[in-house]
Structure 1
Amino acid sequence: MKKAGAYYLGQGRCRFTVWAPEKERMVLHLVQPEERKLDMLPDREGYYTLEVEAVYPGTRYFFMPDDEQDYSDPASFHQPDGVHEASAVIDHTAYTWQDSNWRGLPFQELVLYELHVGTFTSEGTFAAIIPRLEELVETGINAIELMPVAQFPGTRNWGYDGVYPYAVQNSYGGPEGLKLLVDACHARGIAVFLDVVYNHLGPEGNYLSQFGPYFTDQYKSPWGDAINFDGAWSDGVRDYISENPLYWFEHYHLDGLRFDAIHAVIDNGAVHIWELIHQKVKKLEQRLGRRLYLTAESDYNSPRVVKSPEMGGYGFDAQWLDDFHHALYVLLDKKGQVRYVDFGKMEQLAKAYNDGFVHSGEYVSFRKRRHGASSAGIPGDQFIAFNLNHDQAGNRAKGERLSVLVNTDRLKLAAAALMLSPYVPLLFMGEEYGEEGPFFYFVSHSDKDLIQAVREGRKREFSNYKWEAEPPDPQAEETFAQSKLNWEKRREGKHRLLLEWHRTLISMRRTHPVLQEFSKSCVRAHVIGSQGLLLHRQTQDGLLHLVCLFNFSENLLPCSLPDWSKTWQVVLDSSANEWQVRKKNITESIPDKAKATAPLQLPPLSVLVYEGRMEL
């Protein structure tokens, strides 16, 4: 196995490698600063390689399969002029890293923050993120998760249309821009995760088929040609994909990767591609001396995603827990049941806390079949929970965030339900202060037929959900511009209150011993009445307890505290005056202390958290 791409060796020498197993000839076409055409040397595995003198960083080049036409390097490290133009040689050793003392963070301590580079700031670059890092740290966020930055067509894209998995988007700041951002994050104690896409590649600028059988017609992908992981000549494809995570970890010092829609990858080989990646990353961990995290978006609802390969699993450290979002969202916004027809019961939220997967083998009407397997007993730090992500907003016709769909009291409920959960939390950019601007789906293709196909595809998708409005034009620059964050809002009114609420919850999560316990044996949730929930969490030794009481109704909810402790102390009360946008003249307030089994009246749309100690 060889590493594809252009590796600068120093002193004007560069080694070029490309995989093209069915081609009879491969020509390296150097185009700048001096034009040269050189025949490359083949081997029995289908790789062509050539070491060349007088090639320096910045040199532009193409490959010419069978000496017929110029194509960019499939493993290009930099596309400075976009997806259709020449690849560029870069020297990864030229950057002087400042993070030699960085050893990463324990996964269970992370508060993840998903962001889209192009819309996080008005500038839309890696460099523009750096001045905002201090504000994220002050909020308690210690890990950012970048939506895909692999080179895509144009300058506006979610990133899931990337066509060069090794190249960093030029309009964001390219390779050096990403390295500067990672360095700046590590200097402030922030880990950096990156979303990577191995289930398909985008259509525009995708020239891989000109080199070899990267794709197969044996399977279908929802987004385009399926990648050939198990057919003829698949060894080279498996190398191409499985080396990519190592590339990000080694050359960009990333802390973790989030793998997009792993269920859309089909691999019937003896060693699944996810197992192969797991094995390679584990070896790299040993060499680098730090943890490298692999997380997955999965529609399987299967514990095998996080089980080790030795136990028949894929070896991911954690997976996104969509069921938590669905169960909670429908309780907060009754209209949400139109989209999530199989959710809406308080018992499902209790199950999401107790087990993880809500659908664990039951019949699901949306799928018209049984779905899922039990995740009971899987530790909470192997799940990532969220109230919002790019899909939840971007796949709505109007791009609405949760902050537009529900009121402030419900937003406080949602934040508390997430941060008090036994899962690793993820926020979507702007969620911490209740950003109300939309987050749309957007592209900037140059192919007119493709642009029209995207427009029609989005309309078809939304008609299936029976939305009342049509989505905006994904190609329009205004659609992209409207999706940018309004940072100044975080300092005013309800936005400032929500920001302080998130800070308080995150601080509590980070400092309270009970909230640092992820074993499911220390978690128990059950329903109160029809619209309330009691979440009980405790330390492993059973001495310290938290009882989190949620009222999702607009009426007072009677309940009582359990007898694990004789007295309970209030540690958080969302109905207190300090957490109101408009201060109230309160005649009765929640007492600071309450006795076990004493009757309580939970205020409407509120969360109360009590601490208790086991009496010895």
Structure 2
Amino acid sequence: MDLTPSDLDFEGLPPWELKPGCGRVPLWAPDKKQINLLVGSPERPRKTPMVQYGSWWLAPRPLPNGTTYAFEVDGKGPFPDPRARRYVPGSELWVQTADISAIQHSSSWQPDGKLLGKVWYELHIGTFTAQGTLRAAIEKLPYLADLGVEVIELMPIAVFPGQRGWGYDGVGLYALFNPYGTPEDLVAFIDEAHNLGIAVAQDLVLNHLGSSGNYLSQFAPYFSSRHETPWGDGYNLDGSDSGPVRDFLIGAAVALLADYGFDGLRLDAVHEIQDDSKLHLLAELSQEVHNLSEELDRPLTLVAESDLNDARMVTAVDEGGYGMDGQWDDDIHHGIHVAFTKETQGYYEDFADPAALSKIYSQVFYHNGTYSSFRGKNWGAPVPEDMERNRFFGFASNHDQVGNRALGDRPSEKLSPGLLAGQAALILASPFTPMLFQGEEWGSRSRFQFFTDYADEGIGKAVDEGRKREFASHDWEKIYDGEVEVPSPQALSTFLNSKLLWQELSEVEHKKMLAWYRHLIALRREGVFADFISLQRQQQLLVLKTKQAQVIVNLHHSCADIIDLLAQLPQGDYISFTNGKLENPPAEILGEDTLLIVG
């Protein structure tokens, strides 16, 4: 029987507007005959029939905070609440009620606007510290503030299978991965970052749900065979009963921003979100977040990872775009990586063009309607000249570009310190929004490898074998000068070997690199790198010019053009990465080095 809101006495709100994962634990389950609420000990739970309200079901009475529960669906179960805010540690089936919005915050700080143009820092909670917890990461926040970081981007923290992983196969979008800590720990992390003047953004995966521990299909038609993704059937975003599915995904984003206090979201691989609706899911999310920003009276930022190379991603919804504020630009990474490492395998092939970096810094994308040999077709579209370049994120490293190498090795294993310094300068002096990856600021040589912890041996074996197949055709032997043994994602050692080596900071060469990054970040925040002019390649020299500064990177030990170039340099302060501050303009740059000129 359908009941009215007054019959159920829950403040006149329909079930889909009730707080997720607490109180009456609203559940969308159309076409189900009976939903029972299982409460208490998983070994001997109490069973109570849920009350039906159309296609939704509600607990007959509000559950107190901290109550352990699960659902039984037409005699099958237990199954976890899709919108649970907390999982019982060690279980993928039992969850607990938790009102995250009731957690008290200790900071009222907020960013002064959108998070574009600021210095971002991507980190993975599990490998950022030896302990791999939010509480341990809090202890490192003063270090990040001293470095000059303005925005921290956390890799996914939603519940995923096992005790370790990157987090991109999440299954509990509304709940925090227990090994990282409690909801209170996450609030404390955000508050302490805010107290230090650092904004916090969260990486959120809306393009798929993981295969292990995913029980959504037990309740409702969350997925549809109409759209295929690399992970199987896509979300049902444009078919019958798609409304609650869209609300489920948008609700996960809103919960992070509203309840935990995040300042922004990075949305993973949005090009894999298949939606033929008149209003695309991303556009609807943009509108909802805009409304939330006005309601909360604080700025919120949405950043998309997209390989479409299309400025429509960051074009306003009312102008026909998706309404994202910013987007990652892999072309920037690829152009820098090829120029510095000379690697040209796979998708790097096209970026061997000597003019690639100049084009990217001028036009944002290398492939902006041009032919992509990797894809076998024309790719991308031109970016309007008047579009702000800080809408596009540039980086020399990130979790993908390091972790998806066969050995998870960083540029620091291959490049000289002088060239690493050059990569840093080109990113931090760029017109784009710069992002660093944990440890790159001191030239860390700790690897970041792909690691998983699937209890299902079949899935674990498939991941291991799939990883080996994936790398078999990438010519890694040429890159590593010999046969490559790809680390097993399932092995504990692969995770442990990915822990950041903070002890490196006691070594002179790493201290020197850290000081270089601090100086560059300080100059950027002072506005020295504003008013970008150009980046040009002259043989083995890269020359970046802004109104107040120049960066010159010598990519090779000797360069015929360098003497003539140095003779034309302007007056100013000269800083060589290798030799430090110079009293006079240098007559030459010896070896692979980076020269910074301010003035």
Q: TM-score, normalised by structure 1?
A: 0.89
Residues 576, 592 of structure 1: alpha-carbon distance in 2 compared, 3 angstrom cutoff: farther
1:590 Cα deviation after fit: 7.6
Letter in 2 for 1:449: G
Moved more, 225-234 or 149-158: 225-234
8 Å contact 2:304–2:326 — kept in the other structure?
yes
Moved more, 134-143 or 274-283: 134-143
Distance in 2, Cα, partners of 1:108 & 1:344: 29
1:482 Cα deviation after fit: 0.7
Match of 1:470 in 2: 485
Distance in 1, Cα, partners of 2:91 & 2:315: 38
Residues 148, 508 of structure 1: alpha-carbon distance in 2 compared, 3 angstrom cutoff: same
Pairing 1:495–2:510 present:
yes
1:348 Cα deviation after fit: 0.9
Pairing 1:52–2:54 present:
no
1:345 Cα deviation after fit: 2.6
3-state SS of 1:217 partner: strand
Aligned length: 576
Match of 2:232 in 1: 224
Question: Which one of 178, 194, 215 corresponds to residue 186 of structure 1?
Answer: 194
8 Å contact 2:109–2:197 — kept in the other structure?
no
Question: Which one of 546, 549, 557 corresponds to residue 546 of structure 1?
Answer: 549
Question: Which one of 556, 559, 562 corresponds to residue 558 of structure 1?
Answer: 562
Distance in 1, Cα, partners of 2:472 & 2:517: 35
1:514 Cα deviation after fit: 4.3
Letter in 2 for 1:577: N
Deviations 1:233-290 (A, max 9, x none): 1111101001111100111100111000000111000110001100100000001111
Moved more, 168-177 or 216-225: 216-225
3-state SS of 2:425 partner: helix
Distance in 2, Cα, partners of 1:195 & 1:572: 39
Distance in 2, Cα, partners of 1:229 & 1:486: 43
1:30 Cα deviation after fit: 1.4
Pairing 1:481–2:489 present:
no
1:76-87, aligned counterparts within 5 Å? 76-87=84-95
Question: Which one of 229, 253, 267 corresponds to residue 259 of structure 1?
Answer: 267
Distance in 1, Cα, partners of 2:347 & 2:71: 47
Question: Which one of 299, 302, 306 corresponds to residue 294 of structure 1?
Answer: 302
Pairing 1:374–2:382 present:
yes
1:308-457, aligned counterparts within 5 Å? 308-337=316-345, 340-377=348-385, 378-457=387-466
Pairing 1:504–2:519 present:
yes
Question: Which one of 144, 155, 159 corresponds to residue 136 of structure 1?
Answer: 144
8 Å contact 2:409–2:448 — kept in the other structure?
yes
Pairing 1:270–2:257 present:
no
Match of 1:27 in 2: 36
Deviations 1:78-117 (A, max 9, x none): 0122452311011324422111243455524521111111
1:601 Cα deviation after fit: 4.4
1:611 Cα deviation after fit: 4.2
Distance in 2, Cα, partners of 1:114 & 1:224: 28
Deviations 1:473-509 (A, max 9, x none): 1111111111001101113121111101100110111
Structure 2 stretches lacking a partner, 5+ long: 1-13, 478-483
1:376 Cα deviation after fit: 4.3
1:347 Cα deviation after fit: 1.2
8 Å contact 1:324–1:352 — kept in the other structure?
yes
Distance in 2, Cα, partners of 1:267 & 1:338: 29
Pairing 1:157–2:165 present:
yes
- For the aligned residue pairs, the C-alpha RMSD in angstroms reads 2.2
Letter in 2 for 1:455: D
Distance in 1, Cα, partners of 2:116 & 2:455: 43
Distance in 2, Cα, partners of 1:610 & 1:486: 32
Question: Which one of 155, 161, 169 corresponds to residue 147 of structure 1?
Answer: 155
Distance in 2, Cα, partners of 1:562 & 1:105: 40
Pairing 1:174–2:182 present:
yes
Letter in 2 for 1:574: S
Match of 2:480 in 1: none
Distance in 2, Cα, partners of 1:533 & 1:567: 14
Residues 443, 3 of structure 1: alpha-carbon distance in 2 compared, 3 angstrom cutoff: farther
Pairing 1:591–2:587 present:
no
Structure 1 stretches lacking a partner, 5+ long: 9-13, 539-544, 580-588, 594-599
Moved more, 331-340 or 144-153: 331-340
Moved more, 301-310 or 349-358: 349-358
Distance in 1, Cα, partners of 2:485 & 2:101: 49
Pairing 1:215–2:223 present:
yes
8 Å contact 1:201–1:224 — kept in the other structure?
no
Residues 20, 104 of structure 1: alpha-carbon distance in 2 compared, 3 angstrom cutoff: farther
Distance in 2, Cα, partners of 1:560 & 1:293: 45
3-state SS of 1:501 partner: helix
Distance in 2, Cα, partners of 1:64 & 1:490: 53
Residues 477, 397 of structure 1: alpha-carbon distance in 2 compared, 3 angstrom cutoff: same
8 Å contact 2:398–2:437 — kept in the other structure?
yes
Letter in 2 for 1:504: H
8 Å contact 2:421–2:577 — kept in the other structure?
no
1:550 Cα deviation after fit: 2.9
Match of 1:127 in 2: 135
1:602 Cα deviation after fit: 4.6
1:567 Cα deviation after fit: 7.9
Match of 2:8 in 1: none
What is the percent sequence identity of the aligned residues? 38
Residues 99, 109 of structure 1: alpha-carbon distance in 2 compared, 3 angstrom cutoff: farther
Q: TM-score, normalised by structure 2?
A: 0.91
Residues 611, 434 of structure 1: alpha-carbon distance in 2 compared, 3 angstrom cutoff: closer
Distance in 1, Cα, partners of 2:563 & 2:367: 28
Match of 1:596 in 2: none
